[in-house]
């Protein structure tokens, strides 16, 4: 009897919802904190939450020595490099534009699959890439970008995209041995340790100037529990069940969630150009994932 994949797809959709909202939560915190401070605090809270969850449920796992460097490599690309790119990208752009660029992750997945697993790249893959990039170009066309401002943000976001792709390869290998909760917990605590010296050297003196309020606390808790914990656990479970390429298809939902919630929560404009760009990106991702060779 064929096993239903509905629960797995629900996990994937929930992960994209949380990541879509994460751009809004990050934007609200950037009014008070620098990017590295936000990342460091959210990773600390997230890893504490996940380790407590594992211990309380009696499912605590230790990482084997032979897998230590593989885990370290995964943590370098995500959360360390990925979050650097994402947070600085959000700082210099908008939540919706950031989410659209992040949504190009599945477009590059066929190339990663070809390099690592020797999968072929179809003509639809190439067409999808072209259409998706045209969608990003449409969204950028009406913006006066410069490398002293938003241009930096765009480059940082594409750096996050590349980091996520490399991370997915590490993740696929690790999910064969460990549970998603275990992997995310260890990756986040390693990532927090990587960010610690950067935080102490460049941003620790500014944190005392901020007075905590409900908006700050709720945004940090939402980022830590939903975006940095549950979303990554759900995504790791999805990669384990249906593979890298199919799991990354769901990234095209991120800009949709971000655009809709940005409009209602932070009054970000929802223009016709923005809508056209989102449609092109999603359409390109859809084409790039069709007719994949077995």
pLDDT tens profile 186-198:
999 999 999 999 9
Flag whether 256 is in a domain.
yes
Residue 106 banded pLDDT, cuts 50, 70, 90: confident
Mean pLDDT of the chain: 85
175 or 230, higher pLDDT? 230
DSSP per-residue letters across the chain: -PPP-HHHHHHHHHHHHHHHHHHHHHHHHTTTS-HHHHHHHHHHHHHHHHHHHHHHHT---PPPGGGHHHHHHHHIIIIIIHHHHHHHHHHHS-HHHHHHHHTTHHHHHHHHHHHHH-----HHHHHHHHHHHHHHHHHHHTS---TTTHHHHHHHHHHHHHHHHHHHHHHHHHTTTS-HHHHHHHHHHHHHHHHHHHIIIIIGGGGGGPPP-HHHHHHHHIIIIIIIIIHHHHHHHHHHHH-HHHHHHGGGGHHHHHHHHHHHHS-----HHHHHHHHHHHHHHHHHTSS---
- Residue 294 located in a structural domain: no
Mean pLDDT of 157-167: 92
Q: Classify residue 212: in a domain, yes or no.
A: yes
Question: Per-residue pLDDT for 249 more than 80?
Answer: no
Q: How many domains does the chain have?
A: 1
> Which is more confident, 289 or 45?
45
pLDDT for residue 144: 54
In a domain? residue 293? no
Range with the lowest mean pLDDT among 67-71, 149-153, 165-169? 149-153
Which pTM value belongs to this model? Answer: 0.83
Residue 103 has pLDDT above 90, yes or no: no
> What pLDDT shows up at residue 289?
59
pLDDT of residue 291: 53
Q: Is the pLDDT of residue 36 over 90?
A: yes
pLDDT for residue 93: 86
Q: What is the pLDDT of residue 3?
A: 47
Classify residue 195: in a domain, yes or no.
Answer: yes
In a domain, 135, yes or no: yes
Task: Please state which of the ranges 83-92, 123-132, 143-152, 232-241 shows the lowest mean pLDDT.
Answer: 143-152
In the predicted structure, residue 246 carries a pLDDT above the cut 80: no
Q: Is residue 1 part of a domain?
A: no
- Residue 212 or 135, more confident: 212
Provide, rounded to the nearest whole percent, the portion of the chain with pLDDT above 70: 89
Calculate mean pLDDT across residues 128-147: 68
- 162 lies in which domain range? 6-288
Q: Is a pLDDT exceeding 60 seen at residue 145? A: no
Task: Inform me whether the pLDDT recorded for 142 exceeds 70.
Answer: no
Establish if 205 belongs to a structural domain: yes
**Residues 30-40: what's their mean pLDDT?**
94
């Amino acid at each position: 009897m064929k096993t239903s994949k509905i629960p797995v797809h629900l996990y994937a959709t929930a992960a994209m919802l949380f990541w879509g909202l994460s751009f809004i939560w990050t934007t609200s915190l950037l009014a008070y904190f620098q990017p590295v401070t936000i990342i460091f605090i959210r990773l600390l809270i997230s890893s504490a939450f996940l380790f407590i969850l594992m211990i309380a449920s009696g499912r605590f796992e230790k990482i084997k020595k032979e897998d230590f460097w593989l885990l370290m490599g995964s943590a370098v690309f995500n959360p360390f490099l990925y979050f650097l790119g994402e947070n600085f990208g959000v700082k210099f752009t908008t939540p919706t534009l950031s989410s659209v660029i992040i949504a190009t992750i599945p477009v590059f997945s066929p190339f990663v699959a070809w390099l690592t697993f020797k999968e072929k790249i179809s003509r639809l893959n190439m067409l999808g890439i072209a259409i998706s990039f045209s969608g990003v170009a449409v969204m950028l066309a009406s913006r006066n970008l410069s490398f002293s401002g938003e241009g930096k943000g765009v480059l940082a976001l594409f750096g996050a995209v590349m980091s996520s792709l490399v991370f997915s390869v590490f993740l696929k290998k690790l999910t064969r041995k460990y549970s998603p909760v275990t992997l995310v917990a260890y990756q986040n605590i390693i990532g927090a340790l990587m960010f610690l010296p950067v935080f102490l050297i460049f941003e620790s003196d500014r944190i005392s100037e901020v007075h905590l309020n409900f908006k700050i606390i709720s945004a940090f808790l939402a980022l830590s529990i939903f975006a940095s914990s549950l979303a990554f656990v759900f995504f790791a479970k999805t990669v384990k069940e249906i593979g890298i390429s199919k799991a990354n298809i769901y990234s095209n939902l991120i800009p949709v969630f971000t655009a809709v919630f940005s409009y209602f929560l932070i009054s970000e404009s929802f223009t016709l150009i923005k809508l056209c760009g989102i449609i092109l990106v999603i359409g390109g991702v859809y084409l790039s994932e069709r007719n994949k060779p077995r």
